[in-house]
Amino acid sequence: MDLLAKLKALYKECFSDSDECAEYLFQTRLGIHNALFSQSNGVITSSLYLVDKKLDYCGKTVGLPFVVGLCTKKEFRNKGLARKLLKKAVKKCQAPFIMLYPQIFGFYEKMDFAVISYDDIIDQSKYVKKPCDNAWEMYELYLRYIENMDYYSVLDIKGFEELIKITELDGGRYYLLYDRNQNLAGFTNGEEGLSLVPENKKPGVMARIADLKQALSLLDEDIDIKIKLTDSLIEENNITFKYKGGQIIECADYDEVLSVSQLTRSLFGAGGKLKNIKGYIFERY
C-alpha cells in the first residue's frame, strides 16, 4: 500500500464521512503535500493535514494553516501521538495563528487553543427552507453576514461550491432560509450554517498563536503592560515581554500573567484588554 493509500485508510477508519466524501476531500484539500504523520514499522499511527486558509484581521489579509483530520489509529491512542503531531504543526507553520474546528474541545484547550468564533444555533422551524445548489447565493449571503465584522475567514465562490459538494457526497444538502416575509435570512445543512438574525451561539472554531511576533504585529499598536506568557506546547513562547514599536522586548518583571490561550482570546476580542473586536470564522475542513 502506498503512502497516500495509507493516509486515506487511516482517515476513513477514524471519521464517519462517506467514502465518496472522503475521496473528494483528498482530491481537493487533503494529500501527501499537506500531511503530517507518525509511523511505526511502516504503519501510519497518527496524521493531520494543514489546509491553507486566509484570515482578514482588521483589514489585513494573512495566510494561516487550518488543521483538518487529526486522528490516531485505535491501537496507538493514549500515547501522546496526537499532541506531538500538533506540536510539530504549530512549530512548522509560519503564520500568526493556527486554527481548527474541534470534535473534542477539552483536548485542544490543554494545548492552549481557545474558542475565538461562535456558530449560530438555528431554529429551522422559524424559517421556510428551500434547497440550495447555488454557491453564489450562499457566498453573497456570507458577504452580508461579515460586512460589519472585524475579522473573518476569507472565502470565495470555489469554497462554497466545494462545501455544497462535500455535503452532497456525505448524504446531505444545503438549504436557504427565508423568514416569514420571504426575506433571505440564512443557510444551513443541518449541522452548520449562518443566520442574519441569530438567536443563540455555540462554540465553533478554535485558534492559538503560532508565531508571537506575527500575531502581535496585527495590532498596529503597542501593548502598555508587561506580560509573562506561558505556553504548554511551545517552550520558546514562555517569555516575559512588552510590545513596543513593532518589537518584542523581553523584560525582567511583569504586570500580568497570560497563557497563550488567554492572549489568543484577547487578540480576537473574546476576553482581556487588548482588543474590542468581533468576528466569525466559517470553516470546518
Q: Select from 165, 200, 235 the last residue of a domain.
A: 200
3-to-8, 37, 73, 89, 208 alpha-carbon distances in Å: 9, 11, 15, 19, 30
**In a shared domain, residues 10 and 58:** yes
- 109 and 129 housed in the same domain: no
Check whether residue 132 and residue 111 sit in a common domain. Answer: no
Q: How far apart are the C-alpha atoms of 31 and 5, rounded to whole Å?
A: 10
Domain encompassing residue 128: 122-200
Judgement on whether residues 80 and 33 belong to the same structural domain of the protein? yes
Q: Which of 217, 225, 224, 254 is nearest to 239 (CA)?
A: 254
In a domain, 272, yes or no: no
For residue 273, the model assigns a pLDDT of 63
Q: Residue 210 falls within a domain, yes or no? A: no
Residues in the chain, how many? 285
Q: Which of 115, 139, 163 is the last residue of a domain?
A: 115
In a domain, 90, yes or no: yes
| Burial (CB count within 10 angstroms: exposed 0-12, middle 13-18, buried 19+), residue 273 | exposed
Per-residue pLDDT of the chain (285 residues; tens, 9 = 90+): 799 999 999 999 999 999 999 999 999 999 999 999 999 999 999 999 999 999 999 999 999 999 999 999 999 999 999 999 999 999 988 899 999 999 899 999 999 999 999 999 999 889 999 999 999 999 999 999 999 999 999 999 999 999 999 999 999 999 999 998 899 999 999 889 999 987 889 999 999 999 999 999 998 888 889 999 999 999 999 999 999 999 999 999 999 999 999 999 999 987 766 678 999 999 999
Residue 237 lies in a domain: no
Domain assignment present for residue 246? The answer is no
Q: Give yes or no: residues 106 and 126 share one domain.
A: no
Whether residue 144 is contained in a domain is answered as yes
Q: pTM, whole model, 2 decimals?
A: 0.95
Say how many domains are in the chain.
2
pLDDT at 53: 97
- Do 186 and 128 share a domain, yes or no? yes
Task: For residue 206, tell me if it sits in a domain.
Answer: no
Residue 221: the pLDDT is 87
Choose one of 95, 115, 135: the last residue of a domain: 115
pLDDT of res. 180: 87
User: Does 126 lie in the same domain as 110?
Assistant: no
Residue 36 forms part of a structural domain = yes
47 and 103 share a domain? yes
CATH number of the domain encompassing residue 161: 3.40.630.30
Query: Are residues 189 and 158 both part of a single domain?
Result: yes
Q: Please choose, from the candidates 215, 275, 271, the residue with its C-alpha nearest in 3D space to the C-alpha of residue 243.
A: 215
Is the domain of 103 the same as that of 193? Answer: no
85 and 37 belong to one structural domain: yes
Q: Are 48 and 18 a contacting pair, CB within 8 Å?
A: no
Based on the fold, state whether residues 103 and 128 are members of the same structural domain.
no
3-class DSSP state of 212: helix
Mention every residue, 6+ apart, whose C-beta is less than 8 A from residue 229.
Answer: 212, 237, 238, 239, 240, 241, 258, 259, 260, 263
